[in-house]
Amino acid sequence: MIIEYNRPKTLDEALALLARSEPVTVPLGGGTVLNQPLDKTVAVVDLQSLGLDDVETEGQELKIGANVTLQALLQAGDSLPALAEAIRHEAAYNLRHMATVAGTLVAADGRSPFATAMLALNAQLSIVQQGKDAEQIPLGEMLSLRVEHLPHSLITQVTIPAQASLAYQYVARSPADLPIVCAAVAQWPSGRTRVALGGHGEIPLLVLDGNGPDGATIAARSAYSEAGDQWASAEYRGDVAETLTGRCLQELA
Ligand SMILES: Cc1cc2nc3c(=O)[nH]c(=O)nc-3n(C[C@H](O)[C@H](O)[C@H](O)COP(=O)(O)OP(=O)(O)OC[C@H]3O[C@@H](n4cnc5c(N)ncnc54)[C@H](O)[C@@H]3O)c2cc1C
C-alpha cells in the first residue's frame, strides 16, 4: 500500500527522499506495478517533474531518460524497428502510455521481451544515490543484483548503442501473449554479436557476447536445455531457442 506520495522538482530532493530508511521510499515511474495491491507499505517519489523523459542521440549512443514511456520510446526508435517490436510485445497500447523504461526494466522477469532486447543491446543504466557519484551499471548486472543496486537509488538514464542492429523473434501461445521463448540478437558494425534469450525464469539470459555469431545457435539451445516449466518442456525451449536465434542471425545478415 502506498502511504505517502511525493513529487519533487529536483533530483537532489528526490534522492534525499529515497535515502530515508523510514518509511521505505521507492521511485514511482508509470505506477503500473506500484499501484497494484502491495503486501508492504511504501512511500513513493513520483519522477514526472524531474525531466527524465527525453530520448536523444549523442554520438554513437541513444540516451533514454528513465521516465520515458514505452510508447514514447517506440515512436522515437525509428532506427531500431526490432526494439519497437519487442516493446509492442511487452505491453498493450494503454499500458505502454504509462509504463516507463526504468520501471519496466526494474520489474522485469525472464519473460520480458523489452528486457531481453535491451540485454542484447548491452543497455547501460545510470544510477544515482544521495552523496555518491553516478554509476554506470550494465543491465545484466542490475537484473541479477537488483537487491544490491536498487535500494535508495534512482535510475536516471538508460543508454544503448545507436550504431548496433537488432533482430527480435518470439514464439508465444498467441501473438499478444508473453513469449514462451524469445531471442534478441544485437550486432555492431565491428561484428560484435550479443544474443539474449527470454521466456523463462526470473531474468532474461545473455547467451553470447562475442566478436561474431559463431556458436550462437548451439549456445542458445544449451542455455535453455533445462528451462522446463508449466508452459513448455526444456527440450522444446532448447529447440525453439536455437531456431529463433538462427532466424535473428539470418535477418541481420
Ligand atoms: C494490467 C496490467 C497488466 C500487466 N501485464 C504484465 C505482463 O503481462 N507481464 C509483465 O511482465 N508485466 C506486466 N505488467 C507489469 C508492468 O506493466 C510493467 O512491469 C511496467 O512496465 C512497469 O513500469 P512502470 O513505469 O509502470 O513501473 P512502476 O510501477 O512505476 O515501478 C515498478 C518498479 O520500478 C521501480 N522504478 C521505477 N522507476 C524507477 C527508476 N527511475 N529508478 C529506479 N527504480 C525505478 C519502482 O520503484 C518499482 O519497484 C502489467 C501491469 C498492469 C497494470
172 and 156 assigned to the same domain: no
Within a 10 A sphere around the Cβ of 211, how many other Cβ atoms? 10
Q: Is the pLDDT of residue 115 over 90?
A: yes
**Average pLDDT of the residues in 85-94:** 95
Q: How far is the CA of 213 from the centre of ligand 1 (A)?
A: 33
Q: Which atom of ligand 1 has the smallest separation from the CA of 34?
A: 29
Maximum distance among all Cα pairs of the chain, rounded to whole angstroms: 53
Q: Which atom of ligand 1 has the smallest separation from the CA of 106?
A: 34
Q: How far is the CA of 80 from the centre of ligand 1 (A)?
A: 23
Q: Is the pLDDT of residue 148 over 80?
A: no
DSSP assignment, residue 58? E
CA nearest ligand 1 atom 52, residue? 32
CATH at residue 139: 3.30.465.10
Which of 161, 176, 210 lies at the terminal end of a domain, its last residue? 161
140 lines ligand 1 (CB under 6 A): no
102 lines ligand 1 (CB under 6 A): yes
DSSP assignment, residue 190? T
Give the pLDDT score at 146: 82
Count of residues in the chain: 253
Q: Which H or E run includes 20?
A: none
How many angstroms separate the CA atoms of 79 and 69, rounded? 18
Question: Average model confidence (pLDDT) for the chain?
Answer: 95
Q: Is the pLDDT of residue 17 over 80?
A: yes
33, 71, 203: which to mutate for ligand 1, most atoms within 8 A of CB?
A: 33
75 and 96 assigned to the same domain: yes
Q: What range does the domain containing 196 cover?
A: 165-252
pLDDT band at 38 (very low <50, low <70, confident <90, very high): confident
100 lines ligand 1 (CB under 6 A): yes
Q: How far is the CA of 33 from the centre of ligand 1 (A)?
A: 4
Closest-CA residue to 190 (of 212, 166, 207, 208): 212
154 and 239 assigned to the same domain: no
79 and 154 assigned to the same domain: yes
CA nearest ligand 1 atom 35, residue? 103
Lowest mean pLDDT among 33-37, 103-107, 122-126, 151-155: 33-37
236 and 180 assigned to the same domain: yes
32, 40, 147: which to mutate for ligand 1, most atoms within 8 A of CB?
A: 32
Give the pLDDT score at 145: 86
Q: Is the pLDDT of residue 153 over 90?
A: yes
222 and 238 assigned to the same domain: yes
Q: Which atom of ligand 1 has the smallest separation from the CA of 109?
A: 11
Instruction: Please tell me the total count of domains within the chain.
Output: 3
Strands 153-161 and 124-129, bridge-based pairing: antiparallel
Give strand pairing partners of 65: 157
103 lines ligand 1 (CB under 6 A): yes
How many angstroms separate the CA atoms of 83 and 121, rounded? 10
Closest-CA residue to 115 (of 203, 28, 30): 203
Q: Is the pLDDT of residue 77 over 80?
A: no
123 and 218 assigned to the same domain: no
Q: Are 4 and 44 in contact (CB under 8 A)?
A: yes
